[in-house]
Structure 1
Amino acid sequence: MDPELEAFIPFIPKDDLTDPVAARESLAELAAAVPAPDTAGMEVEDRTVPADPDVPVRIYRPHQARGVLVWLHGGGFVMGDVVTEHPWAARLADSSGAVVISVGYRLAPENPFPAALDDAYAVLTWTAGHAAELGIDPERIAVGGHSAGGGIAAALALRARDERGPAIRFQLLNQPGLDDRQETWSARNFTATPWFNRAKAATSWRHYLGGQPPTPYAAPARAADLSGLPPAYIATAELCPNRDEDIDYASRLLKAGVSVELHQWPGTFHGSQALLSAEVSQRQNAELGAALGRALAG
């Protein structure tokens, strides 16, 4: 493990997601302690996207932005909102120069699949329909997310393809949760990794699926056909249960004719890029913004 990251391990909460309410409170405390992002170069606005039910979003508009990212926060499908995601969404908008729409999707277990995906799809459709108001090019729409949000973003791309929905230019998937089966080497063996491990992943998927049979829109790794999807940037952490399913998904995308940039970060663990003082975390966050900026500028 990267020595800078290892120093933080004693301070990482041991939440296991069995109590979603407690986990949400813990995440809110952690997010509040993160250094505030610099939003001087952008407009930040809270909006509500009309849907059933309506979906809260927080929109970050850097000056002279052309493209837009519909961004889904992490949190094991059970925690997180536009407030806890603020430090990361704002930094992503700043580093990429793109408009970032942070989605406050409904959380499991109270709202299991497909609630989160339905909320994300409603925001994607709204974004495409309000491109002029947002000041962005409707041909420069990306979707992305971290962890559980990365899985929802991948499912969003699948659904948009299948339903001939809004055209998506790019997928930005950071350590996405893609496979409920947990059959890969990393999923089976990472039982004591910091922040996220096999048991926590199992609880997360149990909450999200709510006893329903998994489909590719819930677990994108189950999709048989990955052709016709948008180009993707996929980032993985070495000590993360999701690592191998993410690498497998990247390989399958490539074999389906989809352009992919895969970045495997050695010495890191799931979510460790939140430890902003570490040099490797700074590079991880910068790369996410750079990859998005390149994709939407070309």
Structure 2
Amino acid sequence: MFKFGKKEKTDKGVRKNLGRRLLELLNNHTIDESLFEDLEDLLIESDMGGTVTMEIVDQLRNHVKAKKISTQNEIIEELKSILAEQIKSIELIPEKDKLNVYLILGVNGVGKTTSIAKMARYYGEKGNRDIVLSAGDTFRAAAVEQLKIHGERTGFRVVHQGQGADPSAVIFDTIASAKARKETLVLADTAGRMHNRTNLVKELQKIDSVIRKKIEPGDNYRKILVIDSTTGQNGLQQAEVFNEAVELDAIILTKYDSTARGGNIISISRKLGIPFAFIGKGEKLTDLELFQPESYLEDLFSY
């Protein structure tokens, strides 16, 4: 059977995306059971996970038979249609005349602090200038300084304390000062230590409790997870841990380009039902876009 290895490359040394690999698979098959078996391998390689992949391929198999699908393009379009049904998205819009608290979560290295700066720039460009950044990642030495630099670049105030300070206290102070200054959007950073799941969950639950006690009824409180698109099924595992801790409202996908496998979006949407809000495609502050399922699928299936 025609197989795809994890490290397969194009002639130019660039990893092939799902669309190109799918086209090669179809070129090497008639529409028979071996096609669906190899398609399972391909989707698992694209980080959709075993269970989700089998469900999707079963659905495709049934649709091909019922609709008498017989061409490459028809199979590709039918698979895209099935995947589109799985993906959930959300547009996070700060509510006017209310305090909006966005708690930004994620493991170290996913681009969490940078994503906060990008969100500040994004909402600032939308006309919201009453934004304050909260340096709640007091564990990582560079995190506070990094956020302060981003605050200077974006022109927004940063509330911070020293390394090792209680992150709940930092975020508490941020919300208190935001209310006093009539600022309407708090973007709060958090630590992302995953080596001890129990401690992480307890710390996040404490922060969550402090925020809930400090905000008023009707305030807009959102918990947003940042995931690195290159981490594959680890992204699903991270989403499960953070969702268990604080019940997530949305996800930001970082470090994405058209050659990323990208299948963890499908597995997270299908298994956990958490919508995607933003997608980051570069290091610049302007490299943050609203997550649009149609655009994501076009990238994923491009060849």
So what's the TM-score if we normalise by structure 1?
0.34
Flag the structure with more relative contact order, 1 or 2, with Cα contacts below 8 A and sequence separation at least 6.
2
CA radius of gyration, larger in: 2
User: Larger % of helix: which?
Assistant: 2
